[in-house]
């Protein structure tokens, strides 16, 4: 048996339950969990805010790192350069058809048959979990599993968003929201050669301090409806790209307004309402608005390789599985910065 944090009813606290250790299917890997980051999307789903009709009970979590303890019968470990004891991730995308036009083009995050941890399948808030071998990503040697677990969602999400921003070396970009996503996004942005404005909530001194520690060139912690003016002043007219990790429409509006001519808004946060835009402004300034969803297998490999090369560590705070509801409540009320990571050891 294993201990797990389980959704039994939408909008209700997660239940810590004893559940059977899962048996790996033919193409699965059984993992003994070491660590799991707690993502803001876990909060949204636990609260039932996305309307996803997942089958309950369900184990959330998609930023796990654990050691391989068993391979499914059809898995050839040598083919994937894997062995018992290796550390791999339990990330969001668990599988796809591998046959459609998107999968064949290496864009499996667009596959209509993709499956996700903590949505279609049990996730990483448990002492054991399963991972499809085709999507297994080994944690590079030398990386701390606790400080690297968020790379499997927050890290790859921000790295991919920065790649699709089309920003070039020395361009200004804004990272809007400096929590679990934005903090690591600043680190990646600086390593990619960008100048960075970190945007945090008004008077959030802890987040402002974290933004500076991660390398932001400028930090704004004033009224949220004025961040565009600050950005334009500090960047001589606006940023080339704004990466928004805060699910608030007014923040999106400010980010769009903060773009220079030809700039690009990259959306990774999921508000529950719609964004109203000025078509005239978008046409006149030739702006682009794009959505970005986590990353592909190749994006994740690039993210992990970059983390190993530059010794990237996510700013984390440790917790126990039994504290999951307290953490989700603190997250909902912005009571901490960085990423909370469950320690299963």
Establish whether domains 2-153+295-343 and 155-291 are of one fold.
Answer: no
Annotated domain spans of the chain: 2-153+295-343, 155-291
State whether CATH 3.40.50.720 applies to domain 155-291.
yes
Confidence of residue 54 (pLDDT cuts 50, 70, 90): confident
74-83: pLDDT as tens digits: 999 999 999 9
Predicted pLDDT at 225: 85
The contacts of residue 51 (CB under 8 Å, 6+ apart) are none
State whether CATH 3.90.180.10 applies to domain 2-153+295-343.
yes
Question: Across residues 303-329, what is the average pLDDT?
Answer: 97
> How far is 84 from 81, CA to CA, in rounded Å?
11
185-227: pLDDT as tens digits: 999 999 999 999 999 999 999 999 999 999 999 999 999 889 9
H or E segment at 210? helix 205-214
Predicted pLDDT at 240: 99
263-272: pLDDT as tens digits: 999 999 988 8
4-18: pLDDT as tens digits: 999 999 989 999 999
The contacts of residue 73 (CB under 8 Å, 6+ apart) are 26
> How far is 343 from 32, CA to CA, in rounded Å?
12
> How far is 181 from 39, CA to CA, in rounded Å?
9
Predicted pLDDT at 52: 75
Predicted pLDDT at 53: 74
Query: What SS3 state is found at 308?
Result: helix
Strands 195-199, 218-220: pairing kind: parallel
Give the bridge partners for 65, in sequence order. Answer: 35, 89
């Amino acid at each position: 048996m294993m201990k797990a944090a389980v959704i039994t009813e939408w909008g209700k606290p997660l239940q810590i339950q004893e559940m059977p250790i899962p048996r790996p299917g033919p193409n699965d890997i059984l993992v003994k969990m070491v660590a799991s980051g707690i993502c803001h999307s876990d909060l949204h789903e636990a609260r039932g805010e996305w309307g996803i009709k997942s089958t309950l009970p369900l184990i959330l979590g998609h930023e796990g790192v654990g050691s391989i303890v068993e391979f499914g019968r059809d898995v050839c470990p040598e083919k994937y350069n894997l062995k018992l004891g290796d550390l791999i991730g339990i990330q969001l995308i668990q599988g796809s058809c591998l046959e459609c036009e998107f999968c064949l083009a290496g864009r499996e995050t667009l596959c209509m048959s993709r499956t996700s941890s903590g949505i279609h399948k049990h996730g990483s808030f448990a002492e054991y979990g399963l991972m499809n071998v085709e999507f297994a990503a080994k944690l590079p040697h030398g990386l701390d599993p606790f400080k690297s677990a968020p790379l499997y969602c927050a890290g790859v999400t921000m790295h991919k968003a920065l790649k699709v921003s089309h920003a070039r070396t020395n361009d200004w970009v804004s990272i809007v929201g400096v929590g679990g996503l934005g903090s690591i996004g600043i680190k990646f942005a600086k390593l990619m050669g960008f100048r960075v404005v970190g945007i945090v909530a008004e008077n959030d001194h802890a987040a402002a301090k974290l933004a500076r520690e991660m390398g932001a060139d400028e930090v704004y912690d004033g009224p949220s409806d004025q961040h565009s003016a600050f950005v334009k002043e500090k960047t001589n007219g606006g940023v080339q790209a704004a990466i928004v990790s805060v699910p608030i429409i007014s923040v999106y509006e400010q980010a769009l307004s903060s773009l220079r001519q030809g700039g690009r808004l990259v959306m990774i946060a999921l508000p529950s309402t719609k964004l109203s835009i000025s078509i005239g402004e978008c046409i006149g300034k030739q702006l682009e608005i794009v959505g970005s969803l986590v990353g592909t297998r190749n994006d994740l490999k690039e993210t992990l390789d970059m983390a190993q090369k530059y010794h990237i560590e996510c700013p984390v705070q440790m917790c126990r599985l039994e504290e999951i509801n307290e953490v989700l409540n603190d997250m909902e009320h912005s009571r901490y910065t960085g990423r909370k990571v469950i320690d299963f050891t």
